Amino acid sequence: MMQFSDQQFGHGAYATVDLAARNRVLRNTYVLLALSMVPTVLGAWIGIRSGFSFFAGSPFIGLLVFMAIAFGFFFAIERFKNSGIGVALLLGFTFFMGLMLSRLVGSVLGMSNGANLVMTAFGGTATIFAVMATVATVSKRDFSGLGKWLFVGFLVILVASIANIWLQMPALMLTVSALAVLIFSAFILVDLQRVVNGGETNYVTATLGIYLSVYNVFTNLLAILGIVGGDRD
Protein backbone atom coordinates (compact mmCIF):
# COMPACT_ATOMS: atom_id res chain seq x y z
CA MET A 1 0.00 0.00 0.00
CA MET A 2 1.30 3.48 -0.90
CA GLN A 3 2.13 5.57 2.14
CA PHE A 4 2.45 9.31 2.53
CA SER A 5 4.57 11.05 5.08
CA ASP A 6 3.58 14.25 6.90
CA GLN A 7 6.38 15.95 4.99
CA GLN A 8 4.79 15.11 1.65
CA PHE A 9 1.41 16.44 2.70
CA GLY A 10 3.05 19.59 4.05
CA HIS A 11 4.94 20.16 0.83
CA GLY A 12 1.78 19.84 -1.25
CA ALA A 13 -0.11 22.32 0.91
CA TYR A 14 2.80 24.75 0.74
CA ALA A 15 2.94 24.47 -3.06
CA THR A 16 -0.79 25.18 -3.32
CA VAL A 17 -0.54 28.24 -1.07
CA ASP A 18 2.57 29.41 -2.88
CA LEU A 19 0.86 29.10 -6.27
CA ALA A 20 -2.16 31.00 -5.00
CA ALA A 21 0.09 33.77 -3.63
CA ARG A 22 1.96 34.07 -6.93
CA ASN A 23 -1.27 34.24 -8.89
CA ARG A 24 -2.55 36.95 -6.55
CA VAL A 25 0.60 39.05 -7.00
CA LEU A 26 0.41 38.61 -10.78
CA ARG A 27 -3.28 39.54 -10.87
CA ASN A 28 -2.75 42.62 -8.68
CA THR A 29 0.20 43.64 -10.83
CA TYR A 30 -1.91 43.51 -13.99
CA VAL A 31 -4.73 45.48 -12.35
CA LEU A 32 -2.42 48.17 -10.99
CA LEU A 33 -0.55 48.37 -14.30
CA ALA A 34 -3.82 48.96 -16.14
CA LEU A 35 -4.88 51.54 -13.55
CA SER A 36 -1.54 53.35 -13.89
CA MET A 37 -2.36 54.15 -17.51
CA VAL A 38 -5.15 56.51 -16.39
CA PRO A 39 -2.90 59.10 -14.65
CA THR A 40 -0.34 58.66 -17.43
CA VAL A 41 -2.87 59.66 -20.08
CA LEU A 42 -4.18 62.46 -17.84
CA GLY A 43 -0.67 63.79 -17.26
CA ALA A 44 0.11 63.68 -20.98
CA TRP A 45 -3.14 65.54 -21.80
CA ILE A 46 -2.47 68.24 -19.20
CA GLY A 47 1.13 68.54 -20.37
CA ILE A 48 0.07 69.03 -23.99
CA ARG A 49 -2.58 71.58 -23.07
CA SER A 50 -0.20 73.56 -20.84
CA GLY A 51 2.91 73.26 -23.01
CA PHE A 52 4.78 71.58 -20.13
CA SER A 53 8.49 70.86 -20.67
CA PHE A 54 11.43 70.28 -18.37
CA PHE A 55 13.86 70.57 -21.25
CA ALA A 56 12.80 73.81 -22.94
CA GLY A 57 15.34 76.04 -21.17
CA SER A 58 18.41 73.94 -20.34
CA PRO A 59 18.24 70.28 -21.39
CA PHE A 60 20.96 69.27 -18.93
CA ILE A 61 19.36 71.01 -15.95
CA GLY A 62 15.99 69.61 -17.00
CA LEU A 63 17.47 66.12 -17.07
CA LEU A 64 18.93 66.56 -13.58
CA VAL A 65 15.58 67.78 -12.21
CA PHE A 66 13.78 64.87 -13.86
CA MET A 67 16.24 62.33 -12.42
CA ALA A 68 15.96 63.85 -8.94
CA ILE A 69 12.15 63.70 -8.98
CA ALA A 70 12.09 60.20 -10.46
CA PHE A 71 14.53 58.76 -7.93
CA GLY A 72 12.64 60.53 -5.16
CA PHE A 73 9.51 58.67 -6.27
CA PHE A 74 11.46 55.39 -6.48
CA PHE A 75 12.72 55.76 -2.93
CA ALA A 76 9.29 56.70 -1.55
CA ILE A 77 7.48 53.91 -3.42
CA GLU A 78 9.96 51.34 -2.13
CA ARG A 79 9.60 52.75 1.39
CA PHE A 80 5.80 52.44 1.39
CA LYS A 81 5.35 49.53 -1.00
CA ASN A 82 3.45 47.46 1.56
CA SER A 83 0.71 50.04 2.13
CA GLY A 84 -1.85 52.05 0.23
CA ILE A 85 0.54 54.99 0.32
CA GLY A 86 2.83 53.05 -2.00
CA VAL A 87 0.00 52.60 -4.50
CA ALA A 88 -0.86 56.32 -4.31
CA LEU A 89 2.80 57.25 -4.83
CA LEU A 90 3.03 54.92 -7.80
CA LEU A 91 -0.02 56.52 -9.41
CA GLY A 92 1.47 59.96 -8.69
CA PHE A 93 4.67 58.85 -10.40
CA THR A 94 2.77 57.67 -13.47
CA PHE A 95 1.04 61.07 -13.66
CA PHE A 96 4.47 62.72 -13.58
CA MET A 97 5.66 60.38 -16.34
CA GLY A 98 2.59 61.37 -18.36
CA LEU A 99 3.68 64.99 -18.06
CA MET A 100 7.13 63.99 -19.30
CA LEU A 101 5.54 62.14 -22.21
CA SER A 102 3.49 65.15 -23.32
CA ARG A 103 6.25 66.85 -25.30
CA LEU A 104 6.82 63.80 -27.53
CA VAL A 105 3.13 63.06 -27.96
CA GLY A 106 2.37 66.72 -28.67
CA SER A 107 5.12 66.85 -31.29
CA VAL A 108 3.81 63.73 -33.04
CA LEU A 109 0.19 64.91 -32.85
CA GLY A 110 1.34 68.07 -34.62
CA MET A 111 1.92 65.94 -37.73
CA SER A 112 -0.94 65.41 -40.16
CA ASN A 113 -0.92 61.66 -39.44
CA GLY A 114 0.04 62.08 -35.80
CA ALA A 115 -3.07 60.45 -34.31
CA ASN A 116 -2.48 57.34 -36.43
CA LEU A 117 1.15 57.19 -35.31
CA VAL A 118 0.17 57.41 -31.64
CA MET A 119 -2.40 54.63 -32.06
CA THR A 120 0.14 52.51 -33.97
CA ALA A 121 2.69 52.94 -31.18
CA PHE A 122 0.03 52.06 -28.62
CA GLY A 123 -0.98 48.95 -30.58
CA GLY A 124 2.64 47.91 -31.02
CA THR A 125 3.31 48.30 -27.30
CA ALA A 126 0.19 46.30 -26.41
CA THR A 127 1.25 43.54 -28.82
CA ILE A 128 4.77 43.39 -27.41
CA PHE A 129 3.40 43.25 -23.86
CA ALA A 130 0.96 40.45 -24.77
CA VAL A 131 3.73 38.40 -26.41
CA MET A 132 6.14 38.88 -23.51
CA ALA A 133 3.42 38.05 -20.96
CA THR A 134 2.56 34.87 -22.84
CA VAL A 135 6.19 33.76 -23.08
CA ALA A 136 6.78 34.57 -19.39
CA THR A 137 3.77 32.46 -18.41
CA VAL A 138 4.18 29.39 -20.62
CA SER A 139 7.93 29.13 -21.23
CA LYS A 140 9.95 26.71 -19.11
CA ARG A 141 13.15 28.59 -19.87
CA ASP A 142 14.62 30.77 -17.14
CA PHE A 143 15.24 34.29 -18.51
CA SER A 144 16.58 35.77 -15.27
CA GLY A 145 20.15 35.52 -16.54
CA LEU A 146 19.36 38.19 -19.11
CA GLY A 147 18.98 40.79 -16.36
CA LYS A 148 22.63 41.82 -16.05
CA TRP A 149 23.10 42.07 -19.81
CA LEU A 150 19.94 44.11 -20.18
CA PHE A 151 21.16 46.48 -17.49
CA VAL A 152 24.43 46.98 -19.37
CA GLY A 153 22.42 47.66 -22.53
CA PHE A 154 20.29 50.15 -20.62
CA LEU A 155 23.39 52.03 -19.46
CA VAL A 156 24.68 52.18 -23.04
CA ILE A 157 21.47 53.65 -24.45
CA LEU A 158 21.22 56.03 -21.49
CA VAL A 159 24.68 57.44 -22.18
CA ALA A 160 23.93 57.64 -25.92
CA SER A 161 20.61 59.40 -25.25
CA ILE A 162 22.25 61.98 -23.00
CA ALA A 163 25.00 62.58 -25.58
CA ASN A 164 22.41 63.06 -28.30
CA ILE A 165 20.84 65.95 -26.36
CA TRP A 166 23.79 67.98 -27.67
CA LEU A 167 24.66 66.01 -30.82
CA GLN A 168 21.09 66.10 -32.20
CA MET A 169 21.79 63.26 -34.66
CA PRO A 170 18.58 61.70 -36.06
CA ALA A 171 20.43 58.51 -37.05
CA LEU A 172 21.74 58.07 -33.50
CA MET A 173 18.30 58.74 -32.05
CA LEU A 174 16.78 56.14 -34.38
CA THR A 175 19.42 53.56 -33.43
CA VAL A 176 19.03 54.22 -29.71
CA SER A 177 15.23 54.02 -29.96
CA ALA A 178 15.37 50.71 -31.84
CA LEU A 179 17.74 49.22 -29.26
CA ALA A 180 15.58 50.58 -26.43
CA VAL A 181 12.49 48.83 -27.82
CA LEU A 182 14.38 45.52 -27.85
CA ILE A 183 15.94 45.98 -24.41
CA PHE A 184 12.79 47.11 -22.62
CA SER A 185 10.71 44.41 -24.30
CA ALA A 186 13.13 41.89 -22.82
CA PHE A 187 12.87 43.65 -19.43
CA ILE A 188 9.09 43.10 -19.54
CA LEU A 189 9.72 39.39 -20.10
CA VAL A 190 12.24 39.11 -17.26
CA ASP A 191 10.14 41.11 -14.78
CA LEU A 192 6.92 39.24 -15.55
CA GLN A 193 8.61 35.86 -15.30
CA ARG A 194 10.02 36.83 -11.92
CA VAL A 195 6.47 37.45 -10.71
CA VAL A 196 5.19 34.23 -12.29
CA ASN A 197 7.97 32.22 -10.65
CA GLY A 198 7.51 33.84 -7.24
CA GLY A 199 10.74 35.83 -7.30
CA GLU A 200 8.84 39.08 -6.79
CA THR A 201 6.20 39.03 -4.07
CA ASN A 202 5.21 42.70 -3.93
CA TYR A 203 2.85 43.84 -6.66
CA VAL A 204 3.68 47.54 -6.22
CA THR A 205 7.36 46.92 -6.89
CA ALA A 206 6.51 44.58 -9.75
CA THR A 207 4.18 47.12 -11.32
CA LEU A 208 6.76 49.91 -11.11
CA GLY A 209 9.39 47.89 -12.97
CA ILE A 210 6.99 46.65 -15.66
CA TYR A 211 5.41 50.10 -16.07
CA LEU A 212 8.81 51.68 -16.74
CA SER A 213 9.55 49.06 -19.40
CA VAL A 214 6.15 49.48 -21.07
CA TYR A 215 6.53 53.27 -20.95
CA ASN A 216 9.93 53.10 -22.61
CA VAL A 217 8.73 50.69 -25.30
CA PHE A 218 5.88 53.06 -26.16
CA THR A 219 7.96 56.24 -26.18
CA ASN A 220 10.68 54.74 -28.32
CA LEU A 221 8.23 53.16 -30.76
CA LEU A 222 6.53 56.55 -31.06
CA ALA A 223 9.88 58.27 -31.61
CA ILE A 224 10.76 55.80 -34.39
CA LEU A 225 7.38 56.24 -36.06
CA GLY A 226 7.69 60.00 -35.81
CA ILE A 227 11.11 59.93 -37.50
CA VAL A 228 10.41 57.43 -40.29
CA GLY A 229 6.68 57.80 -40.82
CA GLY A 230 5.77 61.30 -39.73
CA ASP A 231 4.00 63.51 -42.27
CA ARG A 232 4.87 67.13 -41.50
CA ASP A 233 2.73 68.70 -44.21
Alpha carbon 229 to chain centroid, angstroms: 24
- The DSSP output letter for 81 is T
Q: What is the Cα–Cα distance from 134 to 132, expressed in whole angstroms?
A: 5
- pLDDT tens for residues 67-76? 999 999 999 9
Q: Report whether pLDDT(110) > 50.
A: yes
- Find all residues with CB under 8 Å of 147, minimum gap 6, and list them: 190
- pLDDT tens for residues 194-212? 999 988 999 999 999 999 9
Residue 3, pLDDT score = 46
Query: So where are the chain's domains?
Result: 8-229
Q: How does the average pLDDT of the chain come out, rounded? A: 88
